[in-house]
DNA sequence: TATTGTTATACTCTATAACTATA
DNA sequence: TATAGTTATAGAGTATAACAATA
């Protein structure tokens, strides 16, 4: 597991006592290669970076996109319902919605049925914007496909279908 | 995509104008179901939570484990080399190492070859501890296997082999 | 001039706890 | 009493920038 290929790039003690550079690709990961979590984490970081870059022009991040999508598909949901469904802390969702409401994408409507809660809706502007975000997100998804392969992406979705 | 199954649990406007509860599992994810990033992110969160729980008794988190494993397999690496290999900011690694050094798991040795840099080594105590951490991490890995299936885990590792 | 380790700052995200207004 | 939304705080983690020592 301990890689020691002969290369050039940080510094390492050589047989003659002088130092040479070590390339990142010759540093062994040892037990990490057997951990799904390590690869999944690195992959997730890559995906988010691509998503943020691809939707950079509209300034929408993954969590914001997921909130808008769920509200768009389920108008009238309460904040608690959205938070639970997406695994976001309700305290965190307050700030996310503050931002989306300031941008006139979402509106909080006082619920008549339960006056403690807010019914969440997209604004007309929000509907239009979300349609654009979805086109960009689809473009991002094609980047994923290009990165790991169409068939592998499909298998990944199948394997992880339970984590929704 | 908009789920509207008849259930019980938050509140939703019913045909008669009164409200009823909505279960999380009847809220449609819409476009999110087609995004690999969504499933990958949820899975990654599950994995990290299980890792943190499984290694809770020894108080080691995923990033700390990855740093210890790489140093253990490549003694003498500089901080820059570890940071680059694992995709950690060098400023962040300083704090991670401060903590691991306080716990006597790692030592920074002044490099003679390049006096700007530190050669990183596990302490004897660190070697022993890492062996235990690896046993617990293997136990965590069995939880992953139990969660998604042995064959699916193997395929996942194969698909994501490039993200290391 | 460039790099290594360090310190510092700001922003995101997670995890809690406590408060209010309702139920 | 319990719940929905809010506010506040603390801890990870990320992203930067700048500095001292050294190359």
User: 10 Å Cβ neighbour count for A45?
Assistant: 13
Q: What is the CATH number of the domain that holds B46?
A: 1.10.10.10
Same domain? For B63 and B123 the reply is yes
Alpha-carbon gap, residue B127 to B105, rounded angstroms: 8
Distances (CA, A) of B149 to A40, A81, B30, B132, B141: 16, 30, 26, 25, 11
Is B53 a domain residue? yes
Distances (CA, A) of B94 to A65, A75, B52, B71, B97: 34, 47, 21, 14, 5
The average pLDDT across A129-156 equals 97
Q: How many domains does chain B have?
A: 2
Q: Name the stretches of chain B with pLDDT < 70.
A: 1-23
- Output the CA angle B150-B41-A45, nearest 5 degrees: 105
The average pLDDT across A27-35 equals 92
A142/chain B closest Cα distance in angstroms: 10
Q: Do A87 and B1 touch (CB under 8 A)?
A: no
Q: B70-111, pLDDT tens digit by residue?
A: 999 999 999 999 999 999 999 999 999 999 999 999 999 999
Is A131 a domain residue? yes
Is B164 a domain residue? no
Same domain? For B17 and B56 the reply is no
Is B78 a domain residue? yes
Residue A108 β-bridge partners: A120
Percent of all residues in chain A with a pLDDT value above 90, rounded to a whole number:
83
pLDDT bucket at A20, cuts 50 / 70 / 90: low
Is B100 a domain residue? yes
What's the token pair of residue A38?
């390590």
Same domain? For B70 and B30 the reply is no
DSSP state of A133: H
Same domain? For B27 and B86 the reply is no
B127 to chain A: which residues are within 8 Å by CB?
Answer: none
Do A46 and A147 form a contact (C-beta atoms < 8 A)?
Answer: yes
Is A20 a domain residue? no
Q: Do B163 and A72 touch (CB under 8 A)?
A: no
Same domain? For B139 and B82 the reply is yes
Same domain? For B56 and B136 the reply is yes
Q: Do A13 and B76 touch (CB under 8 A)?
A: yes
Is A141 a domain residue? yes
Q: Where are the beta strands (DSSP E) in chain B?
A: 11-13, 19-21, 106-110, 118-122
Domain that holds residue B30: 1-34
pLDDT bucket at A21, cuts 50 / 70 / 90: low
User: 10 Å Cβ neighbour count for B15?
Assistant: 5
Q: A49-76, pLDDT tens digit by residue?
A: 999 999 999 999 999 999 999 999 999 9
B100/chain A closest Cα distance in angstroms: 18
Is A152 a domain residue? yes
Q: Can you give the pLDDT at residue B21?
A: 56
Do B155 and A155 form a contact (C-beta atoms < 8 A)?
Answer: yes
pLDDT bucket at A118, cuts 50 / 70 / 90: very high
Same domain? For B27 and B60 the reply is no
Do A41 and A56 form a contact (C-beta atoms < 8 A)?
Answer: no
Q: What is the mean pLDDT of chain A?
A: 88
Same domain? For B102 and B124 the reply is yes
Q: Can you give the pLDDT at residue A26?
A: 82
Residues in chain B, overall count:
164
């Amino acid at each position: 597991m301990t890689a020691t290929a002969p290369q050039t790039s940080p510094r390492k003690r050589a047989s003659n006592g002088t130092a040479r550079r070590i390339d990142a690709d010759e540093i062994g990961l040892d037990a990490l290669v057997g951990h799904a979590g390590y690869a999944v984490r690195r992959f997730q970081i890559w995906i988010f970076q691509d998503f943020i870059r691809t939707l950079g022009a509209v300034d929408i991040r993954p969590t914001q996109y997921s909130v808008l999508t769920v509200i768009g598909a389920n108008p009238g949901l309460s904040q608690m319902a959205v938070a639970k469904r997406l695994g976001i802390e309700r305290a965190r969702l307050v700030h996310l919605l503050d931002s989306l409401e300031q941008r006139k994408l979402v509106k909080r409507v006082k619920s008549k049925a339960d006056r403690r809660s807010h019914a969440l809706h997209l604004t007309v502007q929000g509907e239009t914007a979300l349609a654009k975000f979805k086109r960009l997100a689809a473009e991002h998804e094609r980047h994923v496909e290009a990165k790991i392969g169409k068939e592998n992406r499909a298998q990944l979705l199948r394997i992880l279908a339970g984590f929704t």
